[in-house]
Amino acid sequence: MSNSPIRHFLDLTTPGVPAIKAMLAEARRRKDARKGQPKGRVDPDRPLDGHVLASIFEKPSTRTRVSFDMAMRQLGGSTLTLSSSELQLGRGETIADTAQVLSRMVDAIMIRTSAHAKIEELAAYASVPVVNGLTDFNHPCQVMADLLTVEEKLGGVEGTTWAWLGDGNNMTHSIIEAGSLLGFTVRVAVPEGYDPEPAVIEAARKAGGKVELLRDPRAAVEGADVVVTDTWVSMGQADSEAKMAAMMPYQVTAELMALARKEAIFLHCLPAHRDEEATSEVIDGPQSVVFDEAENRLHAQKAVLLWCLGRLNP
């Protein structure tokens, strides 16, 4: 076995800026190269020929599930999609044992789980790369797709201003992290009591990131290049009338979008709760790129897998 460290993809900071840039460039290149082709056709170089990814889901998923499955097919590999309730993991087998067993049979593991500590433990015991398909703490694979989308639509991310509205959640954390790494400003406008974790903001600022924490959604959106939101109630979170009421002023409406730059785009990782965090008018409107963003999950995930499996450097 090689002595080089295993390339886990649990957040954006660990791979680092050169690797993220290489992944984004690779995603673009492969996306362009297969335009108009059937979606199940394998990329001619078959870079992951013979490789198998095990995808474990402890929460529901449409985009993450399908994008990783199709990513492996297009790269010449294959997948096993497993729900934790069907695994012994759901009956109490430890994460450490699961990690060691799966590592003997597959080439990489992707997991969507709740506590971030679980994916850290899985990665600590796995001898193959572990990819974060969302935890309660972050969602780095989604933000790779978001970065790809902003690059495509606005020509780059550096120097842009992103306005995050609504709940301070896993998506917020990964966007703040991305902003500090790639040089864009993140204005976070959330109601009191729903701030992102202060440690995430602190770490981003320490790394030179520009993060503003605001209460006024209008001030956040004013002159922004990107307006982004997400569900007000993430998977596993408690729903409450009080939370919904607190979030209402942060709903992305056409009126709010009009405060952003004329060329501004609207992002949402989906699934959307239409007419809650954003109106249907915005989601289906001319500035919305949510379905390009969803498609880019596939292209971004291919690059993440190639990086994890050492087919892409740095």
**Type of residue found at 87:** L
Return the range that interacts with ligand CP (CB under 6 A); candidates 29-37, 56-64, 147-155, 175-183. Answer: 56-64
299 touches ligand CP (CB under 6 A): no
Q: Is position 103 an interface residue for ligand NVA (rule: CB under 6 A)? A: no
Task: Tell me how far CA of residue 176 lies from CA of 1, 152, 211, 302, in angstroms.
Answer: 36, 20, 7, 23
**Rounded CA gap, 91 and 85, in Å?**
8
Q: Pairing relation of β-strands 108-112 and 52-57?
A: parallel
With CB atoms as reference, the residue minimizing the distance to ligand NVA is 234
Does position 219 interact with ligand NVA (CB under 6 A)? The reply is: no
CB of 38 to ligand NVA, least distance (A): 27
Residue 138 interface partner, choices ligand CP, ligand NVA, none, CB cut-off 5-8 Å depending on type: none
Asked whether the CA dihedral 124, 130, 135, 138 is positive or negative, the reply is positive
Q: Contact region for ligand CP (CB under 6 A) — 151-159, 181-189, 249-257, 267-275?
A: 267-275
Question: Which of helix, strand or coil describes residue 307?
Answer: helix
Q: Which is nearer to ligand NVA, 230 or 293 (CB)?
A: 230
Question: Which residue type is seen at 261?
Answer: R
Q: Is 171 exposed, middle or buried (0-12, 13-18, 19+ CB in 10 A)?
A: buried
Please name the residues in contact with 216: beta carbons below 8 A apart, sequence gap of 6 or more: 189
Residue 169 touches which of ligand CP, ligand NVA, none (Cβ within 5-8 Å per kind): ligand NVA
> Could you give the string, one character per residue 105-134, with x where binding to ligand NVA holds by CB under 6 A and - elsewhere?
-----------------------------x
Instruction: Return the ∠ at Cα 58 (arms to 126 and 113), rounded to 5°.
Output: 60
Residue 62 binds which one of ligand NVA, ligand CP, none, with CB within 5 to 8 A depending on kind?
Answer: ligand CP
Annotated catalytic residue 142: yes
278 secondary structure, DSSP code: B
Token pair of 69, please?
A: 């499955």
Our finding on whether 64 is near ligand CP (CB under 6 A) is yes
Q: Which of 30, 112, 187, 299 is catalytic?
A: 112
Contact call for residue 230 and ligand NVA (CB under 6 A):
yes
269 is catalytic: yes
Element (H, E) at 270: none
Closest of 155, 107, 105, 156 to residue 131, by C-alpha: 107
What residues have CB less than 8 Å from 228, skipping those under 6 apart?
Answer: 146, 162, 163, 164, 165, 171, 175, 266, 267, 268
Site for ligand CP in 118-177 (CB under 6 A): 134, 142
| Smallest distance from ligand NVA to CB 64, Å | 7
Contacts of 214 by beta carbon, 8 Å cutoff, 6+ apart: 187, 188, 189, 220
Least distance between ligand CP and beta carbon 145 (Å)? 8
Q: Which is nearer to ligand CP, 244 or 291 (CB)?
A: 291
Instruction: Single out the residue of 55, 103, 169, 180 in contact with ligand NVA (rule: CB under 6 A).
Output: 169
Q: Total residues contacting ligand NVA (rule CB under 6 A)?
A: 9
CB of 293 to ligand CP, least distance (A): 9
230 binds, among ligand NVA, ligand CP, none (CB under 5 to 8 A by kind): ligand NVA
Residue numbers annotated as active site = 112, 139, 142, 230, 269, 297
Positions that interact with ligand CP (CB under 6 A)? 61-64, 134, 142, 269-271
Chain contacts with ligand NVA (rule: CB under 6 A): 134, 169-171, 230-231, 234-235, 269
